Structure 1
Amino acid sequence: MVLLKRLECLAGEYGFFPDERPFPLFLRYSLLILDKPSGPSSHVVTKWIKEALKMDKVGHCGTLDPKVSGVLPIAIGESTKATAIIATADKEYIGTMHLHGDVSNEELEKAVKMFETVIYQRPPVRSAVSRSLRTRRVYKLEILERNGRDVKLRVVVESGTYIRKLFFDIGEFLGVGASMTSLRRVRSGVFTEDMAVSLDKFLSAARKFSESGDWSSLRELLVPLERALVNLKKVVVKDSAVNAIAYGAPVLAPGVCEVSDGIKKGDVIGVFTLKGEIVAVAKAVMDSSEIISSRRGVVAEPIRVIMERDLYPRMWKGQSQIKPEI
Protein backbone atom coordinates (compact mmCIF):
# COMPACT_ATOMS: atom_id res chain seq x y z
CA MET A 1 0.00 0.00 0.00
CA VAL A 2 1.48 3.35 -1.11
CA LEU A 3 1.34 6.22 1.39
CA LEU A 4 1.30 9.72 -0.09
CA LYS A 5 2.91 12.39 2.05
CA ARG A 6 0.83 15.52 2.57
CA LEU A 7 2.85 17.20 5.31
CA GLU A 8 6.21 16.61 6.97
CA CYS A 9 5.25 15.38 10.42
CA LEU A 10 7.29 13.94 13.26
CA ALA A 11 5.96 11.68 16.01
CA GLY A 12 6.10 13.36 19.42
CA GLU A 13 6.45 12.03 22.93
CA TYR A 14 2.89 10.77 23.18
CA GLY A 15 1.61 7.32 22.33
CA PHE A 16 3.49 4.11 21.62
CA PHE A 17 4.45 2.04 18.62
CA PRO A 18 1.94 -0.88 18.84
CA ASP A 19 4.59 -3.52 19.63
CA GLU A 20 6.13 -1.30 22.31
CA ARG A 21 3.07 -0.52 24.41
CA PRO A 22 3.47 -1.21 28.14
CA PHE A 23 1.77 -4.52 28.91
CA PRO A 24 -1.50 -3.25 30.49
CA LEU A 25 -2.08 -1.07 27.41
CA PHE A 26 -0.78 -3.75 25.03
CA LEU A 27 -3.28 -6.24 26.45
CA ARG A 28 -6.20 -3.84 25.95
CA TYR A 29 -5.27 -3.40 22.27
CA SER A 30 -4.37 -6.98 21.42
CA LEU A 31 -5.63 -10.03 19.58
CA LEU A 32 -5.21 -13.71 20.31
CA ILE A 33 -5.01 -15.71 17.08
CA LEU A 34 -6.60 -18.87 18.42
CA ASP A 35 -6.39 -22.33 16.87
CA LYS A 36 -9.93 -23.24 17.87
CA PRO A 37 -10.34 -26.96 18.56
CA SER A 38 -13.21 -29.00 17.18
CA GLY A 39 -15.99 -29.38 19.76
CA PRO A 40 -16.72 -26.15 21.63
CA SER A 41 -18.51 -23.26 19.94
CA SER A 42 -16.81 -19.94 19.22
CA HIS A 43 -18.94 -18.40 21.98
CA VAL A 44 -17.80 -20.97 24.54
CA VAL A 45 -14.06 -20.65 23.83
CA THR A 46 -14.41 -16.86 23.96
CA LYS A 47 -16.06 -17.21 27.38
CA TRP A 48 -13.15 -19.37 28.61
CA ILE A 49 -10.62 -16.79 27.39
CA LYS A 50 -12.56 -13.96 29.03
CA GLU A 51 -12.62 -15.81 32.35
CA ALA A 52 -8.91 -16.67 32.12
CA LEU A 53 -7.97 -13.02 31.52
CA LYS A 54 -10.50 -11.68 34.05
CA MET A 55 -11.46 -8.99 31.54
CA ASP A 56 -14.87 -7.52 30.80
CA LYS A 57 -14.45 -7.19 27.04
CA VAL A 58 -13.40 -10.17 24.90
CA GLY A 59 -15.01 -11.10 21.56
CA HIS A 60 -14.46 -13.38 18.57
CA CYS A 61 -14.02 -11.95 15.07
CA GLY A 62 -16.35 -14.09 13.00
CA THR A 63 -17.69 -17.51 13.93
CA LEU A 64 -16.62 -21.12 13.51
CA ASP A 65 -19.18 -23.89 13.96
CA PRO A 66 -18.49 -26.23 16.91
CA LYS A 67 -17.17 -29.06 14.71
CA VAL A 68 -14.94 -26.74 12.68
CA SER A 69 -11.36 -26.10 13.84
CA GLY A 70 -8.79 -23.51 12.91
CA VAL A 71 -7.97 -19.83 12.88
CA LEU A 72 -10.27 -17.67 15.03
CA PRO A 73 -9.07 -14.15 15.94
CA ILE A 74 -10.12 -13.18 19.48
CA ALA A 75 -10.25 -9.46 20.30
CA ILE A 76 -9.32 -8.30 23.80
CA GLY A 77 -10.30 -5.08 25.56
CA GLU A 78 -10.58 -2.05 23.27
CA SER A 79 -9.84 -4.32 20.29
CA THR A 80 -13.43 -5.58 20.53
CA LYS A 81 -14.46 -2.28 18.92
CA ALA A 82 -12.85 -3.54 15.69
CA THR A 83 -14.36 -7.05 15.59
CA ALA A 84 -16.85 -6.16 12.84
CA ILE A 85 -14.18 -4.94 10.42
CA ILE A 86 -11.74 -7.77 11.25
CA ALA A 87 -14.52 -10.31 10.61
CA THR A 88 -15.01 -9.01 7.04
CA ALA A 89 -11.60 -10.35 5.92
CA ASP A 90 -11.61 -13.18 3.40
CA LYS A 91 -11.21 -16.75 4.68
CA GLU A 92 -9.43 -19.90 3.53
CA TYR A 93 -10.48 -23.45 4.39
CA ILE A 94 -9.45 -27.04 3.80
CA GLY A 95 -12.49 -29.30 3.80
CA THR A 96 -13.70 -32.75 2.80
CA MET A 97 -16.79 -33.09 0.66
CA HIS A 98 -18.45 -36.52 0.56
CA LEU A 99 -20.32 -37.27 -2.67
CA HIS A 100 -23.48 -39.36 -2.31
CA GLY A 101 -23.06 -40.94 -5.72
CA ASP A 102 -20.44 -41.71 -8.35
CA VAL A 103 -19.17 -38.98 -10.69
CA SER A 104 -16.18 -38.90 -13.01
CA ASN A 105 -13.14 -36.73 -12.36
CA GLU A 106 -14.05 -34.66 -15.41
CA GLU A 107 -17.58 -34.00 -14.11
CA LEU A 108 -16.26 -33.11 -10.67
CA GLU A 109 -13.62 -30.71 -11.99
CA LYS A 110 -16.20 -29.01 -14.20
CA ALA A 111 -18.61 -28.58 -11.28
CA VAL A 112 -15.92 -27.20 -8.99
CA LYS A 113 -14.88 -24.68 -11.64
CA MET A 114 -18.51 -23.60 -12.08
CA PHE A 115 -18.67 -22.53 -8.42
CA GLU A 116 -15.49 -20.44 -8.56
CA THR A 117 -17.50 -17.26 -9.01
CA VAL A 118 -20.12 -15.10 -7.30
CA ILE A 119 -22.73 -17.44 -5.82
CA TYR A 120 -26.11 -17.03 -4.14
CA GLN A 121 -26.59 -18.34 -0.61
CA ARG A 122 -29.28 -18.26 2.03
CA PRO A 123 -27.96 -18.56 5.64
CA PRO A 124 -29.03 -21.77 7.44
CA VAL A 125 -31.90 -21.84 9.94
CA ARG A 126 -29.48 -21.91 12.89
CA SER A 127 -27.84 -18.64 11.93
CA ALA A 128 -27.35 -15.39 13.84
CA VAL A 129 -28.01 -13.31 10.70
CA SER A 130 -31.04 -12.67 8.52
CA ARG A 131 -31.93 -15.58 6.22
CA SER A 132 -32.40 -13.35 3.18
CA LEU A 133 -30.77 -14.46 -0.07
CA ARG A 134 -27.35 -12.90 -0.59
CA THR A 135 -24.31 -13.12 -2.84
CA ARG A 136 -20.84 -14.23 -1.83
CA ARG A 137 -17.68 -14.60 -3.91
CA VAL A 138 -15.72 -17.83 -4.11
CA TYR A 139 -12.20 -16.70 -5.03
CA LYS A 140 -10.63 -20.15 -5.27
CA LEU A 141 -11.97 -23.69 -5.26
CA GLU A 142 -9.26 -26.29 -5.76
CA ILE A 143 -9.35 -30.09 -5.63
CA LEU A 144 -6.38 -31.23 -3.52
CA GLU A 145 -7.03 -34.97 -3.60
CA ARG A 146 -9.78 -37.50 -4.14
CA ASN A 147 -10.40 -40.87 -2.56
CA GLY A 148 -13.47 -42.39 -4.16
CA ARG A 149 -16.43 -40.28 -3.10
CA ASP A 150 -14.39 -38.19 -0.64
CA VAL A 151 -12.95 -35.01 -2.13
CA LYS A 152 -10.50 -32.78 -0.27
CA LEU A 153 -10.86 -29.14 -1.32
CA ARG A 154 -9.08 -25.84 -0.72
CA VAL A 155 -11.60 -23.02 -0.58
CA VAL A 156 -10.89 -19.26 -0.50
CA VAL A 157 -14.03 -17.22 0.00
CA GLU A 158 -15.51 -13.89 0.92
CA SER A 159 -16.41 -13.53 4.59
CA GLY A 160 -19.84 -14.90 5.43
CA THR A 161 -19.75 -17.79 2.95
CA TYR A 162 -21.22 -21.05 4.29
CA ILE A 163 -18.94 -23.88 3.21
CA ARG A 164 -21.39 -26.60 4.23
CA LYS A 165 -23.99 -25.03 1.93
CA LEU A 166 -21.41 -24.62 -0.85
CA PHE A 167 -20.59 -28.34 -0.75
CA PHE A 168 -24.30 -29.19 -0.67
CA ASP A 169 -24.92 -27.04 -3.75
CA ILE A 170 -22.05 -28.65 -5.66
CA GLY A 171 -23.63 -32.03 -4.94
CA GLU A 172 -27.01 -30.78 -6.22
CA PHE A 173 -25.36 -29.48 -9.39
CA LEU A 174 -23.76 -32.89 -9.94
CA GLY A 175 -27.11 -34.57 -9.37
CA VAL A 176 -25.81 -36.97 -6.71
CA GLY A 177 -25.88 -34.87 -3.55
CA ALA A 178 -22.95 -34.06 -1.27
CA SER A 179 -22.23 -33.21 2.35
CA MET A 180 -19.35 -31.74 4.32
CA THR A 181 -17.57 -34.25 6.56
CA SER A 182 -14.70 -32.11 7.85
CA LEU A 183 -13.57 -28.49 7.74
CA ARG A 184 -10.63 -26.49 9.01
CA ARG A 185 -10.06 -22.75 8.61
CA VAL A 186 -6.40 -22.25 7.70
CA ARG A 187 -6.49 -18.48 7.23
CA SER A 188 -8.55 -15.51 8.37
CA GLY A 189 -7.45 -12.32 6.63
CA VAL A 190 -3.72 -11.90 7.25
CA PHE A 191 -3.60 -14.56 9.97
CA THR A 192 -2.59 -18.10 8.98
CA GLU A 193 -2.71 -21.34 10.94
CA ASP A 194 1.05 -21.26 11.61
CA MET A 195 0.42 -18.06 13.62
CA ALA A 196 -2.40 -19.61 15.65
CA VAL A 197 -2.06 -20.54 19.33
CA SER A 198 -3.62 -23.63 20.88
CA LEU A 199 -6.23 -23.09 23.57
CA ASP A 200 -4.20 -25.10 26.10
CA LYS A 201 -1.06 -23.02 25.51
CA PHE A 202 -3.00 -19.79 25.96
CA LEU A 203 -4.77 -20.94 29.13
CA SER A 204 -1.43 -22.02 30.63
CA ALA A 205 0.11 -18.57 29.96
CA ALA A 206 -3.00 -16.80 31.28
CA ARG A 207 -2.90 -18.91 34.45
CA LYS A 208 0.76 -18.00 34.98
CA PHE A 209 -0.08 -14.31 34.59
CA SER A 210 -3.03 -14.55 36.99
CA GLU A 211 -1.11 -16.42 39.67
CA SER A 212 2.27 -14.68 39.55
CA GLY A 213 1.80 -11.47 37.57
CA ASP A 214 4.40 -12.70 35.06
CA TRP A 215 3.03 -11.59 31.69
CA SER A 216 6.05 -12.54 29.54
CA SER A 217 4.62 -15.82 28.23
CA LEU A 218 1.19 -14.30 27.64
CA ARG A 219 2.54 -11.34 25.71
CA GLU A 220 4.41 -13.65 23.32
CA LEU A 221 1.08 -15.22 22.32
CA LEU A 222 -0.71 -11.97 21.52
CA VAL A 223 -0.44 -9.56 18.57
CA PRO A 224 -1.30 -5.84 18.40
CA LEU A 225 -4.73 -5.01 17.00
CA GLU A 226 -3.10 -3.02 14.22
CA ARG A 227 -1.69 -6.26 12.74
CA ALA A 228 -5.22 -7.14 11.58
CA LEU A 229 -5.66 -3.77 9.86
CA VAL A 230 -2.57 -3.70 7.63
CA ASN A 231 -4.63 -3.91 4.44
CA LEU A 232 -6.99 -1.11 5.46
CA LYS A 233 -6.51 2.10 3.49
CA LYS A 234 -5.48 4.83 5.88
CA VAL A 235 -4.89 8.42 6.78
CA VAL A 236 -2.15 9.27 9.26
CA VAL A 237 -2.81 12.29 11.48
CA LYS A 238 -0.76 14.70 13.58
CA ASP A 239 -0.43 14.10 17.31
CA SER A 240 -2.43 17.29 17.85
CA ALA A 241 -5.44 15.82 16.02
CA VAL A 242 -5.54 12.41 17.74
CA ASN A 243 -7.50 13.14 20.89
CA ALA A 244 -10.18 15.18 19.13
CA ILE A 245 -10.85 12.17 16.88
CA ALA A 246 -10.85 9.91 19.95
CA TYR A 247 -13.67 12.13 21.25
CA GLY A 248 -15.59 11.58 18.00
CA ALA A 249 -14.56 14.63 15.95
CA PRO A 250 -14.25 14.28 12.16
CA VAL A 251 -10.84 14.05 10.51
CA LEU A 252 -9.94 17.49 9.16
CA ALA A 253 -7.55 18.17 6.28
CA PRO A 254 -5.06 20.33 8.24
CA GLY A 255 -4.42 17.41 10.62
CA VAL A 256 -3.54 14.83 7.94
CA CYS A 257 0.13 13.95 7.39
CA GLU A 258 -0.12 10.95 5.04
CA VAL A 259 -2.82 9.20 3.06
CA SER A 260 -3.09 5.92 1.17
CA ASP A 261 -3.23 6.08 -2.60
CA GLY A 262 -6.54 4.98 -4.12
CA ILE A 263 -8.98 6.13 -1.43
CA LYS A 264 -12.39 6.95 -2.91
CA LYS A 265 -15.31 8.81 -1.36
CA GLY A 266 -17.34 6.39 0.75
CA ASP A 267 -14.43 3.98 1.38
CA VAL A 268 -13.99 2.58 4.87
CA ILE A 269 -10.53 3.65 6.03
CA GLY A 270 -8.38 3.57 9.16
CA VAL A 271 -7.22 6.68 10.99
CA PHE A 272 -3.75 6.12 12.47
CA THR A 273 -1.24 8.03 14.57
CA LEU A 274 2.30 8.73 13.42
CA LYS A 275 3.40 5.75 15.54
CA GLY A 276 0.95 3.42 13.80
CA GLU A 277 -1.75 3.24 16.48
CA ILE A 278 -5.34 2.87 15.28
CA VAL A 279 -7.51 5.80 16.37
CA ALA A 280 -10.75 5.12 14.51
CA VAL A 281 -12.40 3.44 11.57
CA ALA A 282 -13.92 6.13 9.35
CA LYS A 283 -15.80 6.78 6.11
CA ALA A 284 -13.86 8.83 3.56
CA VAL A 285 -15.51 12.09 2.51
CA MET A 286 -12.75 12.96 0.03
CA ASP A 287 -10.68 10.82 -2.31
CA SER A 288 -6.88 10.63 -2.01
CA SER A 289 -6.11 13.43 -4.47
CA GLU A 290 -8.57 15.79 -2.74
CA ILE A 291 -7.08 15.04 0.66
CA ILE A 292 -3.57 15.79 -0.62
CA SER A 293 -4.58 19.12 -2.14
CA SER A 294 -7.09 20.37 0.44
CA ARG A 295 -6.12 22.90 3.07
CA ARG A 296 -9.39 22.70 4.95
CA GLY A 297 -12.55 20.65 5.22
CA VAL A 298 -13.63 17.24 6.50
CA VAL A 299 -11.58 14.34 5.16
CA ALA A 300 -13.42 11.48 6.90
CA GLU A 301 -16.23 10.91 9.39
CA PRO A 302 -15.65 8.36 12.19
CA ILE A 303 -17.70 5.18 12.02
CA ARG A 304 -16.18 3.58 15.10
CA VAL A 305 -13.73 5.24 17.48
CA ILE A 306 -11.29 2.66 18.82
CA MET A 307 -8.69 4.62 20.80
CA GLU A 308 -9.59 5.55 24.36
CA ARG A 309 -9.90 9.22 25.14
CA ASP A 310 -6.97 11.15 26.59
CA LEU A 311 -4.17 8.75 25.65
CA TYR A 312 -3.00 11.82 23.75
CA PRO A 313 -3.34 15.37 25.12
CA ARG A 314 -6.25 17.69 24.33
CA MET A 315 -4.97 20.24 21.89
CA TRP A 316 -8.09 21.73 20.34
CA LYS A 317 -9.11 25.32 20.93
CA GLY A 318 -10.90 26.07 24.17
CA GLN A 319 -9.40 23.11 26.02
CA SER A 320 -6.41 23.17 28.32
CA GLN A 321 -3.88 20.40 27.86
CA ILE A 322 -4.15 17.47 30.25
CA LYS A 323 -1.68 14.76 30.99
CA PRO A 324 -2.38 11.62 28.90
CA GLU A 325 -3.40 8.50 30.80
CA ILE A 326 -2.18 4.96 30.20
Structure 2
Amino acid sequence: MNWRGNPKVTGVLPIGLGKATRVMNLVTRSLKEYMCLMEVHCEFREQDVLKIASEFVGTIYQKPPVRSSVKRRVRKRTVYSLDILEVSGREVLMKITSEPGTYMRKICHDMGTLLGCGAHMRELRRTRSGIFGEDKLVTLQEISEALYLYNKCKEEEELRKILIPMEMAFCGLSKVIVDDEAVNSITYGSSLMAPGIVSYQEFKKGDTIGLITRKGEAIAIGKALVDSEGMGKKGEVVKTERVLMDKDVYPRAWKK
Protein backbone atom coordinates (compact mmCIF):
# COMPACT_ATOMS: atom_id res chain seq x y z
CA MET A 1 0.00 0.00 0.00
CA ASN A 2 2.53 2.54 -1.20
CA TRP A 3 0.43 5.73 -1.40
CA ARG A 4 2.36 8.00 0.95
CA GLY A 5 4.91 9.45 -1.48
CA ASN A 6 7.33 11.84 0.17
CA PRO A 7 6.98 11.25 3.94
CA LYS A 8 8.03 14.83 4.66
CA VAL A 9 4.87 16.16 3.01
CA THR A 10 1.75 15.85 5.18
CA GLY A 11 -0.77 17.57 2.97
CA VAL A 12 -2.15 20.79 1.58
CA LEU A 13 -1.99 23.80 3.90
CA PRO A 14 -2.57 27.14 2.14
CA ILE A 15 -0.91 30.06 3.95
CA GLY A 16 -1.72 33.73 3.44
CA LEU A 17 0.84 36.52 3.63
CA GLY A 18 0.11 40.19 4.28
CA LYS A 19 -3.34 41.22 3.11
CA ALA A 20 -3.93 37.69 1.79
CA THR A 21 -4.56 36.60 5.39
CA ARG A 22 -7.91 38.40 5.07
CA VAL A 23 -9.15 35.90 2.48
CA MET A 24 -7.94 32.73 4.18
CA ASN A 25 -11.32 32.20 5.83
CA LEU A 26 -12.67 31.58 2.31
CA VAL A 27 -10.17 28.73 1.94
CA THR A 28 -10.75 27.23 5.39
CA ARG A 29 -14.52 27.14 4.75
CA SER A 30 -14.13 25.37 1.39
CA LEU A 31 -14.36 21.68 0.45
CA LYS A 32 -11.64 19.33 1.75
CA GLU A 33 -10.27 16.11 0.26
CA TYR A 34 -8.31 13.48 2.20
CA MET A 35 -6.46 10.24 1.77
CA CYS A 36 -7.13 8.31 4.97
CA LEU A 37 -5.60 5.04 6.11
CA MET A 38 -7.80 3.16 8.58
CA GLU A 39 -6.73 0.13 10.58
CA VAL A 40 -9.51 -2.22 11.68
CA HIS A 41 -9.01 -4.13 14.94
CA CYS A 42 -10.18 -7.50 13.63
CA GLU A 43 -10.52 -9.54 10.46
CA PHE A 44 -13.38 -8.39 8.23
CA ARG A 45 -14.98 -8.91 4.86
CA GLU A 46 -14.31 -6.30 2.19
CA GLN A 47 -17.96 -6.18 1.16
CA ASP A 48 -18.91 -5.23 4.73
CA VAL A 49 -16.55 -2.24 4.63
CA LEU A 50 -17.91 -1.16 1.26
CA LYS A 51 -21.47 -1.29 2.57
CA ILE A 52 -20.64 0.65 5.72
CA ALA A 53 -18.66 3.26 3.74
CA SER A 54 -21.75 4.04 1.64
CA GLU A 55 -23.67 4.86 4.82
CA PHE A 56 -21.28 7.73 5.57
CA VAL A 57 -21.96 9.59 2.31
CA GLY A 58 -24.36 12.49 2.76
CA THR A 59 -25.32 14.20 6.01
CA ILE A 60 -23.71 12.70 9.10
CA TYR A 61 -23.67 13.63 12.78
CA GLN A 62 -20.37 13.81 14.63
CA LYS A 63 -19.22 14.54 18.14
CA PRO A 64 -15.60 15.80 17.97
CA PRO A 65 -12.96 13.48 19.49
CA VAL A 66 -11.65 14.08 23.00
CA ARG A 67 -8.40 15.40 21.54
CA SER A 68 -9.84 18.29 19.55
CA SER A 69 -9.73 22.10 19.71
CA VAL A 70 -13.51 22.65 19.62
CA LYS A 71 -16.37 22.12 22.03
CA ARG A 72 -17.45 18.48 22.13
CA ARG A 73 -21.05 18.68 20.99
CA VAL A 74 -22.84 16.85 18.21
CA ARG A 75 -22.47 18.62 14.86
CA LYS A 76 -23.97 18.02 11.42
CA ARG A 77 -21.50 17.64 8.55
CA THR A 78 -21.70 16.63 4.88
CA VAL A 79 -19.53 13.94 3.32
CA TYR A 80 -19.65 14.29 -0.47
CA SER A 81 -17.85 11.05 -1.29
CA LEU A 82 -16.12 8.17 0.48
CA ASP A 83 -14.31 5.75 -1.82
CA ILE A 84 -12.49 2.58 -0.73
CA LEU A 85 -9.32 2.56 -2.85
CA GLU A 86 -7.52 -0.44 -1.44
CA VAL A 87 -7.79 -3.09 1.27
CA SER A 88 -4.69 -4.87 2.55
CA GLY A 89 -5.02 -7.10 5.59
CA ARG A 90 -6.67 -4.97 8.26
CA GLU A 91 -5.75 -1.69 6.55
CA VAL A 92 -8.25 0.25 4.44
CA LEU A 93 -7.21 3.15 2.22
CA MET A 94 -10.00 5.67 1.62
CA LYS A 95 -10.43 8.86 -0.37
CA ILE A 96 -12.87 11.22 1.32
CA THR A 97 -14.26 14.61 0.30
CA SER A 98 -16.25 16.57 2.83
CA GLU A 99 -17.14 19.99 4.10
CA PRO A 100 -14.65 21.60 6.52
CA GLY A 101 -14.79 20.59 10.16
CA THR A 102 -15.38 16.91 9.44
CA TYR A 103 -13.17 14.64 11.57
CA MET A 104 -11.67 11.78 9.59
CA ARG A 105 -10.53 9.94 12.72
CA LYS A 106 -14.13 10.02 13.98
CA ILE A 107 -15.31 8.49 10.71
CA CYS A 108 -12.74 5.71 11.18
CA HIS A 109 -13.87 5.19 14.77
CA ASP A 110 -17.55 5.05 13.82
CA MET A 111 -16.90 2.67 10.91
CA GLY A 112 -15.02 0.40 13.31
CA THR A 113 -17.97 0.47 15.69
CA LEU A 114 -20.31 -0.65 12.90
CA LEU A 115 -17.85 -3.43 12.00
CA GLY A 116 -18.22 -4.62 15.58
CA CYS A 117 -14.58 -4.56 16.67
CA GLY A 118 -13.33 -0.97 16.43
CA ALA A 119 -10.91 0.86 14.15
CA HIS A 120 -8.62 3.86 14.24
CA MET A 121 -7.11 6.30 11.79
CA ARG A 122 -3.52 5.34 11.16
CA GLU A 123 -2.47 8.03 8.70
CA LEU A 124 -4.06 11.07 7.08
CA ARG A 125 -3.10 13.27 4.19
CA ARG A 126 -5.08 16.29 3.04
CA THR A 127 -4.90 16.36 -0.74
CA ARG A 128 -7.15 19.35 -1.42
CA SER A 129 -8.38 22.49 0.33
CA GLY A 130 -10.79 24.36 -1.91
CA ILE A 131 -9.10 25.06 -5.24
CA PHE A 132 -5.66 24.27 -3.82
CA GLY A 133 -4.50 20.73 -4.51
CA GLU A 134 -1.26 18.78 -4.31
CA ASP A 135 -0.18 20.15 -7.69
CA LYS A 136 0.49 23.45 -5.90
CA LEU A 137 2.45 21.98 -2.98
CA VAL A 138 5.88 23.36 -2.12
CA THR A 139 8.20 22.18 0.63
CA LEU A 140 9.73 24.27 3.40
CA GLN A 141 13.10 23.61 1.80
CA GLU A 142 11.90 25.17 -1.48
CA ILE A 143 10.59 28.21 0.41
CA SER A 144 13.89 28.57 2.27
CA GLU A 145 15.89 28.43 -0.96
CA ALA A 146 13.61 30.92 -2.71
CA LEU A 147 13.92 33.38 0.18
CA TYR A 148 17.70 32.98 0.23
CA LEU A 149 17.96 33.76 -3.48
CA TYR A 150 15.74 36.80 -3.05
CA ASN A 151 17.48 38.17 0.07
CA LYS A 152 21.05 37.48 -1.02
CA CYS A 153 20.91 37.68 -4.80
CA LYS A 154 17.74 39.71 -5.44
CA GLU A 155 16.48 36.91 -7.69
CA GLU A 156 12.68 36.78 -7.70
CA GLU A 157 12.02 33.92 -10.12
CA GLU A 158 11.85 31.07 -7.58
CA LEU A 159 9.83 33.13 -5.12
CA ARG A 160 7.30 34.04 -7.82
CA LYS A 161 6.81 30.33 -8.55
CA ILE A 162 5.70 29.82 -4.95
CA LEU A 163 3.54 32.90 -4.34
CA ILE A 164 -0.02 32.83 -5.69
CA PRO A 165 -2.15 35.99 -6.12
CA MET A 166 -4.77 36.26 -3.38
CA GLU A 167 -7.43 36.68 -6.10
CA MET A 168 -7.19 32.89 -6.52
CA ALA A 169 -9.16 32.56 -3.28
CA PHE A 170 -12.14 34.14 -5.07
CA CYS A 171 -12.56 31.03 -7.23
CA GLY A 172 -15.91 29.51 -6.40
CA LEU A 173 -17.39 32.83 -5.24
CA SER A 174 -19.83 34.93 -7.21
CA LYS A 175 -17.90 37.99 -8.36
CA VAL A 176 -18.94 41.53 -9.15
CA ILE A 177 -16.86 43.81 -11.36
CA VAL A 178 -16.84 47.33 -9.94
CA ASP A 179 -16.60 50.56 -11.91
CA ASP A 180 -13.31 52.41 -11.40
CA GLU A 181 -15.08 55.42 -9.90
CA ALA A 182 -16.64 53.28 -7.15
CA VAL A 183 -13.48 51.38 -6.13
CA ASN A 184 -12.01 53.93 -3.73
CA SER A 185 -15.19 54.43 -1.72
CA ILE A 186 -15.32 50.66 -1.12
CA THR A 187 -11.75 50.70 0.22
CA TYR A 188 -13.03 53.15 2.85
CA GLY A 189 -15.72 50.67 3.87
CA SER A 190 -18.69 51.89 1.83
CA SER A 191 -21.23 49.45 0.46
CA LEU A 192 -21.38 48.80 -3.26
CA MET A 193 -24.27 50.64 -4.85
CA ALA A 194 -26.06 49.47 -7.98
CA PRO A 195 -24.73 52.28 -10.26
CA GLY A 196 -21.16 51.14 -9.47
CA ILE A 197 -21.64 47.65 -10.96
CA VAL A 198 -20.12 46.97 -14.38
CA SER A 199 -20.84 43.23 -14.56
CA TYR A 200 -21.68 40.36 -12.23
CA GLN A 201 -22.22 36.65 -11.81
CA GLU A 202 -25.59 35.56 -10.47
CA PHE A 203 -25.93 35.59 -6.69
CA LYS A 204 -28.53 35.28 -3.95
CA LYS A 205 -29.21 37.47 -0.95
CA GLY A 206 -26.81 36.52 1.84
CA ASP A 207 -24.12 35.09 -0.48
CA THR A 208 -20.48 36.00 0.05
CA ILE A 209 -19.39 38.14 -2.90
CA GLY A 210 -15.94 38.93 -4.27
CA LEU A 211 -15.60 42.52 -5.47
CA ILE A 212 -12.99 43.03 -8.19
CA THR A 213 -11.84 45.79 -10.52
CA ARG A 214 -12.01 45.73 -14.31
CA LYS A 215 -8.40 44.47 -14.20
CA GLY A 216 -9.32 41.56 -11.93
CA GLU A 217 -7.79 43.07 -8.77
CA ALA A 218 -9.38 42.09 -5.46
CA ILE A 219 -11.09 45.03 -3.76
CA ALA A 220 -13.09 43.49 -0.93
CA ILE A 221 -15.32 40.68 0.26
CA GLY A 222 -18.93 41.49 0.99
CA LYS A 223 -22.39 40.12 1.69
CA ALA A 224 -25.16 40.37 -0.92
CA LEU A 225 -28.09 42.44 0.33
CA VAL A 226 -30.37 41.48 -2.57
CA ASP A 227 -30.72 38.78 -5.22
CA SER A 228 -29.00 39.61 -8.48
CA GLU A 229 -32.28 39.02 -10.35
CA GLY A 230 -34.13 41.56 -8.23
CA MET A 231 -31.35 44.13 -8.25
CA GLY A 232 -32.52 47.56 -9.36
CA LYS A 233 -30.62 50.53 -10.74
CA LYS A 234 -30.38 52.19 -7.34
CA GLY A 235 -29.66 51.23 -3.76
CA GLU A 236 -27.18 49.06 -1.87
CA VAL A 237 -26.30 45.73 -3.43
CA VAL A 238 -23.29 44.41 -1.48
CA LYS A 239 -22.31 45.33 2.08
CA THR A 240 -18.53 45.50 2.41
CA GLU A 241 -17.22 43.21 5.16
CA ARG A 242 -13.49 42.88 4.55
CA VAL A 243 -11.39 45.34 2.53
CA LEU A 244 -8.39 43.92 0.66
CA MET A 245 -7.15 46.85 -1.41
CA ASP A 246 -5.23 49.84 -0.02
CA LYS A 247 -7.03 53.17 0.12
CA ASP A 248 -6.53 55.73 -2.63
CA VAL A 249 -5.04 53.28 -5.15
CA TYR A 250 -7.88 54.39 -7.42
CA PRO A 251 -8.84 58.07 -7.73
CA ARG A 252 -11.43 59.47 -5.34
CA ALA A 253 -14.76 60.04 -7.06
CA TRP A 254 -16.66 61.74 -4.25
CA LYS A 255 -16.48 65.18 -2.64
CA LYS A 256 -15.61 65.82 0.99
User: Which shifted more, 269-278 or 135-144?
Assistant: 269-278
What percent identity do the matched residue pairs reach?
A: 43
- Name the CA distance, whole Å, in 2 between partners of 1:303 and 1:132: 29
Tell me the residue number matched to 1:157. Answer: 98
> Residue in 1 aligned with 2:70?
129
Higher normalized contact order (CA 8 Å, seq sep 6+, divided by chain length): 1
Q: Counterparts of 1:187 and 1:307 in 2: how far apart (Å)? A: 27
Task: Tell me the number of residue pairs that the alignment of Structure 1 and Structure 2 aligns.
Answer: 251
* 1:201 and 2:107 aligned: no
Matched, 1:284 2:236: no
The C-alpha deviation readout for 1:180-232, integer Å capped at 9, x for no partner, is: 11111111111110221111111110121122222221011111111121110
Report the secondary structure of 1:254's partner residue. Answer: helix
Alignment of 1:26-41 (within 5 A): none
Q: Secondary structure at the match of 2:15?
A: strand
2:3 maps to: none
Q: Deviations over 1:126-153 (max 9, x none)?
A: 4333333211111010000100110000
Q: Does 1:310 align with 2:251?
A: no
- 1:172-321 pair list within 5 angstroms: 172-261=113-202, 263-291=203-231, 294-318=232-256
AA aligned opposite 2:180: D
Q: CA deviation at 1:162?
A: 1.0
Amino acid paired to 2:216: G
Q: TM-score, normalised by structure 1?
A: 0.74
**Residue pairs, 1:92-107, within 5 angstroms:** 92-107=33-48
Cα deviation, residue 97, structure 1: 0.4
Aligned to 2:85: 144
Instruction: Say if 1:168 and 1:177, in contact at 8 Å, map to a contact too.
Output: yes
The aligned amino acid for 2:255 is: K
Q: TM-score, normalised by structure 2?
A: 0.93
CA distance in 1, matches of 2:183, 2:211: 9
Q: Is the 8 A contact 2:23 2:169 kept in 1?
A: no
Is the Cα–Cα contact under 8 Å of residues 86 and 229 in structure 1 kept in the other structure? no
CA distance in 2, matches of 1:69, 1:169: 24
Which residue identity lines up with residue 96 of structure 1 in the other structure?
L
Do 2:193 and 2:237's aligned partners in 1 also have CA atoms closer than 8 Å?
yes
Q: How far 1:86 moved relative to its partner?
A: 1.5
Query: 1:305 Cα deviation (Å)?
Result: 1.5
* Displacement of 1:125: 3.7
Cα RMSD (Å) of the superposition? 1.6
Give the letter aligned to residue 74 of structure 1. Answer: I
Structure 2 counterpart of 1:72, one-letter code: L
Give distance in 2, aligned partners of 1:71 and 1:301. 32
Q: Distance in 1 between matches of 2:253 and 2:197?
A: 15
Task: Map 1:33-72 onto structure 2 (within 5 A).
Answer: 69-72=10-13
Alpha-carbon separation, structure 2, partners of 1:311 and 1:245:
11
Match of 2:110 among 169, 187, 193: 169
Does the CA-based 8 Å contact 2:26-2:169 persist in structure 1? no
| SS of the residue 1:75 aligns to | coil
- Where does the alignment leave 5 or more consecutive residues of structure 2 unmatched? 1-5
Decide whether aligned partners of structure 1 residues 131 and 277 sit closer, same or farther in structure 2, where only a CA change above 3 A counts. farther
Q: Is the 8 A contact 2:24 2:169 kept in 1?
A: no
